[in-house]
Amino acid sequence: RAALAPFWLRMQERSDTLTGHALVVDGEDTFTAMLAHVLRAGGLEVTVRRYDEPGLRETVRAHEGPLVLGPGPGDPSDTADPKMRLLRALAAEAVRENRHGVLGVCLGHELIAAELGLEIVRKEVPYQGAQTEIDLFGRTETVGFYNSFVAHCDEDALRELAAHGVEVSRAANGEVHALRGPGFAGVQFHPESVLTLNGAAVVRELMGRLCGTDAFPARRPAL
C-alpha cells in the first residue's frame, strides 16, 4: 500500500511563502487542477490556460510572472503532432526569454530537457502511478511517476550541462528525474500527486528559486 502525501489529507491554509502570479499551461491532463491548487496553497495567484487556447503564445509573452509547463499525454519528440510542435516552440521561447522563471512538470519537464539537447526516449515499461524513492538534488524524496517517455542524460551530456550551469538529478541508467538551471527547472515526477510525499514543499522550493531569476541565456547546442 502506497504512502500518501500529508498535504492532501488535511485542511490547508494558504501560505505566504511565494508571491506573484503563475501562468500554467495545461497539456491536457487532469493533474493540472491539482498542480494549480498546490501553487495557490504556496501563495501564488494562478491562471490556467489550455495549450490550444487561441492567443496562448501572446498570453505567455505578456505574462509578468513564472510560467509552468504542465503535464499531458504525448511524445514530445513527435514533430508530426501539432500539439507537440506548438508546445516545443512554446518551451523553446520560454526557456530562452522568460524572465520570471519556467517550471516544467512531466511533459513540461520533457519539453525543457529536449530544448537543452537531451534525448527523449520511450520507457520500456511505462510508469502509471509508480511510487519510488529518488535522489533529488542531493536528498532522498518519495515521488510519484506517471510517464511513458523520459529524458536520458549520459556522462558527456551531464558534463556539458554542468558547464552551462544546469544541475541534473538522474537514475543510474541515465533517466532524468529532475533538472534545474538559470531561470528554469523541471521534474519528471508529479509533485502534485498524492504519491509524492513532500510534493508541496518541492514545488515551493523550485518556484522560490525561480522567481526573479534570469532565464537560460541561450539554447545550447544539441548533444
CA-based Rg of the chain, rounded to a whole angstrom? 16
As a three-state string, the secondary structure of the chain is: CCCCCHHHHCCCCCCCCCCCEEEEEECCCCHHHHHHHHHHHCCCEEEEEECCCCCHHHHHHHCCCCEEECCCCCCCCCCCCHHHHHHHHHHHHHHHHCCCCEEEECHHHHHHHHHCCCEEEECCCCCCCEEEEEEECCEEEEEEECCCEEEECCHHHHHHHHHCCCEEEECCCCEEEEEEECCEEEECCCCCCCCCCCHHHHHHHHHHHHCCCCCCCCCCCCC
| Residue 86: per-residue pLDDT | 97
- Catalytic annotation present for 190: yes
pTM above 0.75, yes or no: yes
What's the burial of 64, exposed, middle or buried (CB within 10 Å: 0-12/13-18/19+)? exposed
| Residue 123: per-residue pLDDT | 95
| Residue 42: per-residue pLDDT | 94
| Residue 29: per-residue pLDDT | 97
Mean per-residue pLDDT pooled into runs of 10, the chain (223 residues): 86 83 97 97 96 96 96 95 97 89 98 97 94 97 98 98 97 98 97 98 94 45 38
- Catalytic annotation present for 192: yes
| Residue 15: per-residue pLDDT | 84
Domain architecture of the chain: domains with CATH: 6-210 (3.40.50.880)
Question: Which residue in 100, 106, 109, 177 is the catalytic one?
Answer: 106
| Residue 1: per-residue pLDDT | 54
- Catalytic annotation present for 37: no
Question: Which residue in 100, 109, 177, 190 is the catalytic one?
Answer: 190
| Residue 197: per-residue pLDDT | 98
The single-letter code of the amino acid at 56 is: L
